[in-house]
Amino acid sequence: GGYKWQAWTDVSSLSKEEAMQQYADTMNNLFPAEEEAEAPPGQLAVPGLISASLADNGVVTVYLDSVTMPPDMFIECGKLFRTLSSHHAVRCVVVRAGTQKPHFSYGLDLKKAGGSLMNSKMDGPRHHLHKLVKEWQEGFTAIAECRAPVIAAVEGW
């Protein structure tokens, strides 16, 4: 109890604003801000695949603008979430279906991925498939490793 009383006594001559500024300065010295790239733009998008908008309160809404997930979606998703994770203005991310489609996602776009999945001209079909799965997984890993909490707002089936 004595330490708290002494702390209050030490700042009793300061105005409320001066005490708050002194506290903020102390916290900034104890926990310096990390270097941050320039602020994320208000809108980030790859037309037809994925888009995001940053609200003033730090909440980012990510829209999955494609009903299915073509291979490019995984790559762009990874880029987007790594960008969002590097900005401290981002406090939370909500992932939802795009505004023009009724459902969250049907899953992998087999028509667009089919050529990639069936290509056997590399080191072998299994090696090629394993490489693709690892590349595509990086997009979801970026979501899991995002510094801000990520919420999926799922609608439909």
> pTM value?
0.62
Question: In the structure encoding, which two tokens stand for residue 87, read together?
Answer: 């900005």
Bridge partners of 144? none
Tokens (6 digits) for 105: 């996602």
User: Which helix (H) or strand (E) element contains residue 118?
Assistant: helix 110-118
Q: CA 93, CA 64: separation in Å to the nearest integer? A: 13
Measured distance CA(140)–CA(152) in Å, rounded: 13
pLDDT tens profile 18-30: 876 777 777 666 6
59-64 and 50-54 strand pairing = antiparallel
Distance (Å, rounded) from C-alpha 81 to C-alpha 96? 14
Write out pLDDT tens, residues 48-96: 788 888 888 889 988 888 777 788 888 888 999 998 998 888 889 998 8
Question: Above 50 in pLDDT, residue 39?
Answer: no
